[in-house]
Structure formats: structure tokens, C-alpha cells
A and B are shown apart, each in its own frame.
Chain A
Amino acid sequence: MKISIEKRVEPSPLTPYLSPLVSLALALIVCAVIFKAAGANPFKAYREMFMGAFGSDFAIEATLIKATPLILCGLGVAAAFRMQLWNIGAEGQLYVGAIAASWVALNYGFNQPLISLGLMFLAAALAGGIWGMIPGILKAFRGSNEVITTLMMNYIAIFLTSYLVYGPWKDPTGYSVPMTALFNRNSWLPKIFDTSVHGGIIIALILVVLSWILFYKTRWGYEIRVSGANEKAAAYSGMNAAKNIILVMFFSGALAGIAGMSETAGIQHRLQQGLSPGYGYTAIIVAWLARLHPAAVVVSAILFGGLLVGGDQLQISMSMPVSVSNILQGLILFFVLGGEILFSYKIKIGGKSGHQPCPAAKENA
């Protein structure tokens, strides 16, 4: 008997909804086995995680706070991925955004919160944008692999942050703690009503809408989506690939940079080491699970925000390492990736048809 695989003409319409749910369920099952192997009771662990992330008002607030940078970075990553640009550098772009926002907050005391926050926002977007644009330029003009360059830029940005908080920007009154002085109150993002959720989430949601308009309602967005789907067709119709690569990488980096501003101005109110527990990497999974759609990024980011909060909860109540949530993240992505074949290919059992090219098989994956 022969088992063969053929490409479907149209992906199954259920894919976008079914795939993430099934992946999540399977990931939870496999992770339960890993928990067991590590000597933890999986049922207790999952209950702790769920309650920690969604079980109370406080928990939901914590989840939304963590979802904020994930929405922003996820939007940025999705924008680049849509053009087949593998921007793995959201983490570094977030850090330089935080550095730029801190620079504004620490050096210019504005009396108006709106001016102060506005300038921090612009500085962060610009810094993150440039940090993303450098690999973009290298890609556009030299063809340098952006996976590697964006990733190396992450390490550089994180060391740069350490240098600043240990060195020139160190709070002189902070004893030996490596961090800058606290920002002036005018540089703090306000809380929403009387919750602990800061205004970063509003910024994130506005940018979701703007990204959606940009990618689905403008000519440029159409160009980007076309060139992502088919490079040759895009070049044939006279689109400037180099320009678009650089612009998209700038846009992608700027969004991650804004996440850095939102974290410093909304939570820490200063620049410090380790301000992101890997939001930039989690954002890759957020974007992929959302199938790169801006609106779906929000749902996906809240889910992963919950996962991170749940991971923290496990550390507190069951003294498990925080990297537990990385296992779950990796597993979810494995199953989403592995499951795609079920939706975009048909599996045929028996017959010889597997060796004949089917009409839809011309376009390569």
C-alpha cells in the first residue's frame, strides 16, 4: 500500500480555527508527560497555571499586562513574516526601543505627560525601526540571511542595555543595583481606571487597527502581501522589492520598539536589565498561531500572556523553573506546524496517484 501526499487546491476553510485549538490540546497532553517526568503532578500544574492566568481579576490583569508587549511584537513579527522576512529580532528591537524611550524620559523633563510620552513613543519607534532596518538593508542589498543578523542584533541590544545600566546611566543613588533612576511621573503610562493594567494595551490595540488598515486596505499593504506570496510576480509587476524589504523591516522593528517603550513607561518606570523575559521570541509563536492576521494576534497574545503568567505561578507555587512555559510554547508551535499539512495537503492511501503531479502542485511551498 502506498501513502502519498498531494497539495489541496484550496486550504480547508476550518484551518484557522481548528488548527490552533487542536495544537493547544495536543501540546498540553505532551507537556503533561514532561511534567510527570520532571516530578510534578500535571493536573495540579495546569490548574495552578490556569487559575494564575485567568482565575481572578488580578490574574486577568496580569495576563493583559503580559499580552501587551506580545501584541506589539507579534504585530511586528507578523508584518515581516508576511513578506517571508524572518525577523527573529523583536527581542533586540524591544530593548533598543526601551533604551530610546528611557533616554528621552531621563534627559528631558517635560511638564506635559502627553508630550513626554509622545516623544518617548516616537524615539522608541525610531530606534526599534532602525534596529530592524539594518538587517533589512543587509538583506535587500547583500542578500544576508536576516534570521542570523536579526538574532545577533538581539544579543548586541541586550549587552548594550547592560552596559548602560551598569555604566553611564546607572542610578547614582541606587547602590549596586544595575538600573537607571526612576522616570519622572510625567513619563509614566497611566493605569486604566482603577486596574493595574497600564495604557500600553490601548496603544497596542490602536496599532492593531492601523496595521490591519495598512495591510488590508492600502495599495502598499497589498504589494507586501503579494510579494510575500509570490516574489516573481511582484518583481514582474514592477514592485521595488529592496525598498519594500527595508520599509517592512523598519515597520516591524518600530512596533517591537514601541513594546519596549510600553514596558519601561508602563511597568518598570526605569531602564533595567532583563526587562523582557523573551517577549520577542514568544511573539514569533503568537504571530504564527494567529496566521499573521493582526486581529488574531490579539487573541493569540492574550493566550500566550496567560501562559507566561501561568508559568510564573508555577514557579511560585510549585517551585518549577519559568522555562516550563517555553516547553509549552515550543510544543504548541510544533503541533501548529505539523498540523498544517493536514489542512494544506491531502493524504492519499493506496493508488499510484502520488507519483503524478497534480495540477495544483506547481507553486512550491
Chain B
Amino acid sequence: MDANLLLTLSILAAAVRAGTCIVYAVIGEILMERSGILNLGLEGIMLSGALAGFTAAKMTGNPWNGVLAALCAGALMSLIHGVLCISLKAGQVVSGLALTIFAGGVCGVFGKKMVGQPGSPFHNWNIPVLSDIPWIGQVFFRHDILVYLSYLLIPLAWYFLFRTRAGLNLRSVGENPQAAESLGLSVNKIRYLYILVGGALAGLGGAHLSLAYNNQWIDNMTAGRGWIAIALVIFAGWNPLKAALVSYLFGGIDAVQFRIQASGTQIPAEILLMMPYIFTIIVLIIASGKGEKQSAPAALGIPFIPGERK
């Protein structure tokens, strides 16, 4: 195999690895936004998932406990946003920001002892047979188990949203809560449910960083990935399949800039590090406009009060 092909495959594999945490977060945010709740606390939720996952795995020596802890931590953090926005009708933008600031502080305090500690990570596990497929095997099937789980989550989330009764209910709550309520759905209960599910998924996304990708706890290790995920939700038109694609594309940019850095280039590291953020702005410019208005849930960001009309 020639060197160029080898390099391309390894970059693609790195893109999948780097994109996985975003896949989880984007799908979590899609579920929440489809129910009408804009959760800008994603960055903080991911971070608390990363810390809880790392800590639980380290203390018990079993990364699966880390997964459990990350799911719970993500759901709990997200629940704060739920209580504020669903029950107390608070503004969703500012509430999400408050959550990110709060979670950053909590992780700073409780994560202090974990900085620089060795963890109990998930190791790479090549799937038999599949990993031997030329090209595809190298790109997709030589990762850790959380990457493989995300492969299952992507089509599952899509199928759930667009092909099941529960998915239809979820979407109708985000599109027209008044109508949904009149059909006998409890808008607020459904929103609470997806706040929890979405938060848990975002927490798991964070845990992929600390349990596999970086395999350690670093303060603020999500480094804006939560915000990037929110932008990618718009780019993906609130569709889990497209979301996966753009997450890997984003992972690719991350992987490429890292490769260029490691190659000892003349381009300063700081300029390369800006790339993902510049890319996110470009993505957002492309995604916004008419297309965004068409695919965004109509009641996104608006608190639901029974009997109150738009």
C-alpha cells in the first residue's frame, strides 16, 4: 500500500475518533431541540460527563461504570436547564449560558484531584472480520467500543425520530405544542424526558474524551466542542444522519490540523488551532438563511404555558 493512501486512511480513522464525542452531543442536542428546548449548556454538560466518567472509571477500575456515571451526570446537569426553562419558563439562552459557567466551576473544583492522574480507559478493540475489510476496516472498525456504540446510535436516533410514534410525538411537541397538548400529549413531560435523554447522551460524548480519546482529565477539556455541536445541529438540519456526517467532517478538520502541527510545519500552532472555530463559523454561515428556518422546530426556545396562545 502506498504512503499517501495509508496517510489518508489514518486521517479518516482519526476523523471518526475525533468526531465521536461530537456525534453523541449533536444527537443529544437534536433530541432536546426537536422537543422545543434549546440547550446552550451543552458545553458544560459534556464537561461534567467527562469528569464524572473519568472519576467513576478510575475509582472502580471499570470504564463501563464511567459510562454510567457520565450518563447520569449529563442528565442531572441538563435537568437544571429543564427545571429553569420548562417549569420556571426562564429564558433558554441565558439559562444555558448559566449552566455552562456553573458546570465549568463544579468541574474545576471537583476535578482538581484528577488532573494528571492515570485513568481506566476503554482500549481499542478491532472488530473481527470487519476490521479486516480493506480501507473501510481501517477507518471504521479499529476503535474503542464507544465509537461502535455511536454507529448504532446514529441510525437508531434517525429511525426513532422519523419512523416511530414516539418520535412523531416528540417532533409535534417542538413544532406546535398547543396542538400536541390538545391531542392529549403532555408537552412539559415530554420535554423533561428529552432534556434527560439528550443530556445523558451529551454527557457520554464528554466521557468519550476522558475515557478514550484523551484518556485523562484536563480542566476544560471539551474546549468549545459543545458550542461547535450546537452549530452542527443547525448545519445538519436537525437530522441525526446528516449530524453524524458533519461531526466526522469536523473531526477530520481537527485531525488534519493536528497532523499538520505534528509534521513540524512553518504554520504557527495557534493559527492551526483556530481552524475548527473558523470552520464552525463558515458552517453556520452556509447553514443559516432560508434552509434553517424551514427545518428548525417552530417552537424552539419558546416556553410552553397551557392555554397561552402565540
Contact = CB atoms under 8 A, between A and B. Distances in A.
A356 interface: yes
Interface stretch (B93-101, B147-155, B156-164, B200-208): B93-101
A357 interface: yes
A143 B108 contact: no
A312 B25 CA distance: 33
Main secondary structure of the interface of B (DSSP, over half): helix
A362 interface: yes
Contact of B278 (A38, A152, A354, A355): A152
Interface residues of B, number: 56
Interface stretch (A103-111, A186-194, A320-328): A320-328
B166 interface: no
Nearest to B81: A334
A235 interface: no
B284 A166 contact: no
B270 A148 contact: no
Which of A152, A156, A362 has the most B CB atoms < 10 Å from its CB? A152
A184 interface: no
Given A160-B274, A163-B270, A337-B95, A138 B105 contact: no
A330 B105 contact: yes
A365 interface: yes
Given A148-B284, A338-B88, A356-B307, A326 B108 contact: yes
B127 interface: no
A159 B104 contact: no
B98 A333 contact: yes
A340 B90 contact: yes
B281 interface: yes
A365 B104 contact: no
A274 B224 CA distance: 17
16 contacts: A147-B230, A153-B281, A162-B270, A167-B268, A167-B270, A321-B109, A323-B108, A324-B105, A324-B108, A327-B102, A330-B98, A331-B102, A333-B97, A334-B98, A334-B102, A341-B89
Interface of B: 40, 80, 83-84, 88-91, 93-95, 97-110, 112, 219, 224, 227-228, 230-231, 234, 268, 270-271, 273-274, 277-278, 280-281, 284-285, 288-289, 292-293, 302-303, 305-310
Given A147-B40, A326-B105, 18 more contacts: A4-B307, A5-B89, A144-B288, A149-B281, A155-B224, A159-B273, A167-B268, A326-B104, A328-B105, A329-B102, A330-B100, A331-B102, A333-B97, A337-B90, A337-B94, A357-B309, A362-B309, A365-B89
